[in-house]
A and B are shown apart, each in its own frame.
Chain A
Amino acid sequence: MDYAAASDDELMNGMRDRDITAFETLYKRYADLVFSACLRVLSDPAMAEDMAQEIFIRVWRKPESFDPERGKFVTWLLSVSRNRAVDEIRSRGRRRKHELGNVVDVEERPSGKERDDPLFNAQLADERETILKALATLPLEQRQAIEFAYFKGLTQQEIASGLNQPLGTIKTRIRLGMQKLKKYMQELEATRGRQVDGL
């Protein structure tokens, strides 16, 4: 197998046959993303490192957990990362009001993957740009409510309490914000589709 050129699905198939090089290739492809997702949720580099290690070991031990018919590998991997990290902070009871803090507080340190890995560019850069652009269109309070929910694992009620806002206000912010994101992403994808068709 040409590991560097192999798709994520091909590498996952290799892992089902206990191919350690396939695992190592996937690790190097996504370690920064997984670590970054864990760090965003946990806000603690040491905990994020432990969590990222646990997630990769889970992928190694149970590659069959990923079903390629249900979506892309990277989407699944990041969902697993986020969900496990959220479970961790919930289990540690770190959902107190004073810990709401700021979710946009992590300094970005580019890892070089964007430059070095063509697959990272091809598969993720567009999607990352899309969601960043979409988020940038939201009013701050809508984005904040959405990110508290997704990255801190807070319920609407907890966000309302934490921000000292009425529950109805938080529900509206989340609903409107998500609908805007959905609409923006659908329009952008449709535009890209037309550009591809016109080539």
Chain B
Amino acid sequence: MDCREVEELIEAHALGALEADEREQVDAHLADCGDCRVQYEESLRVAQSLALSVPIVAAPPDLFHRTMADVHRDLAMAAGVEEKVRWYNSGWSRRLAPLSAAAASLVAIAALGFSLSANNRVDDIDDRSAAQGEPDAQVMSALQEQQLFTLALAAEDRRELDLNPASSDVEPEPEPEPDATPEEVRAAYLWAASEGVGVLLISGLVAGAVYTACIETEDLGVRAGGLMQVFTNGSANKAFLLEPGDPMIALGITESENCEADSSAWTHHWEIR
């Protein structure tokens, strides 16, 4: 192609509207012709500015949460275990209570209930995030739950947060009672930073009831963490995952379909201290 032929195609090339063979010929000419290249770059600048003409539509709030969760996961994975723990602690140290024997027993019970297997991994955890907003899609299969739960339990940097008692961080941690009554609702929270997976463990719930898991965070306020169906494995335990992208204020469950804006209205709630 000579300069005259190329000039005819420069604008279309800047818009990406040439067929492959035309594009190759124009590119070959531009590589050797400074004058045409200047014209092309001017056209390209105009074409690129078209992107600014789009109607501005507010990005969905969940996009921030999803993106930051990915970034945090990346950061933790890239930095190695020591860094992962430091990152974890930097955001959570003031809120962490010591891991109690009660929480440990919950983990043990739940692990048995879910037939822990190191081979079950979930390659795309974000499938669950993508499903948010569609109530029917929020119910995960038992296999998905097991995979995610296994992922959290198997993570080397897993940390357990005992959520009881919720009301005070001044009183010393009460000793767990080995024969605690089944009616007492207790909870623990597992957070595996490297996997970006959190699991809420609750015991003492009514078997067969359906709850919505709720989460309240500093940036995004109250939102549903997913549906939780309580099942019985002898102790009415259930694990469910939540994935905080920003510091959590409260965790809980409600019998309502949607999480009430005030976390104290949830059927059970635990403040993160």
Contacts and interface: CB of A to CB of B under 8 A. Distances in A.
A149 B16 contact: yes
A82 B8 contact: no
B71 A182 contact: no
B64 A31 contact: yes
Given A23-B71, A127-B49, A181-B46, A35 B59 contact: yes
Contacts of A128: 52-53
A83 B51 CA distance: 11
Given A40-B54, A106-B57, A108-B56, A75 B46 contact: no
A46 B58 contact: no
Interface in B29-63: 42-43, 46-60, 62-63
- The size class of the interface chain B forms with chain A is 35 or more
Interface residues of A, number: 68
B57 A149 contact: no
Contacts of A147: 50
A156 B52 contact: no
A39 interface: yes
Given A24-B68, A171-B12, A174-B11, A79 B51 contact: yes
Instruction: Say what secondary structure dominates the interface of chain B.
Output: helix
Contacts of B130: 46, 50
B46 A112 contact: no
B273 interface: no
B17 interface: yes
A174 B51 contact: no
Contacts of A32: 56-59
B58 A20 contact: no
Interface string A127-158: 11011100100000000001101110111110
Nearest to A74: B52
A53 B11 contact: no
Contacts of B75: 18, 20
Interface stretch (A5-13, A54-62, A91-99): A54-62
Nearest to A177: B11
Contact of B46 (A18, A45, A178): A178
Contacts of B14: 178
Nearest to A107: B55
Contact of B17 (A36, A40, A149): A149
Contacts of B16: 83, 86, 149-150, 153
Contacts of A83: 16
B65 to A, nearest CB: 10
8 contacts: A24-B68, A32-B58, A33-B56, A37-B51, A61-B74, A109-B55, A112-B58, A159-B17
Interface of B: 8, 11-12, 14-19, 42-43, 46-60, 62-64, 66-68, 70-72, 74-75, 78, 130
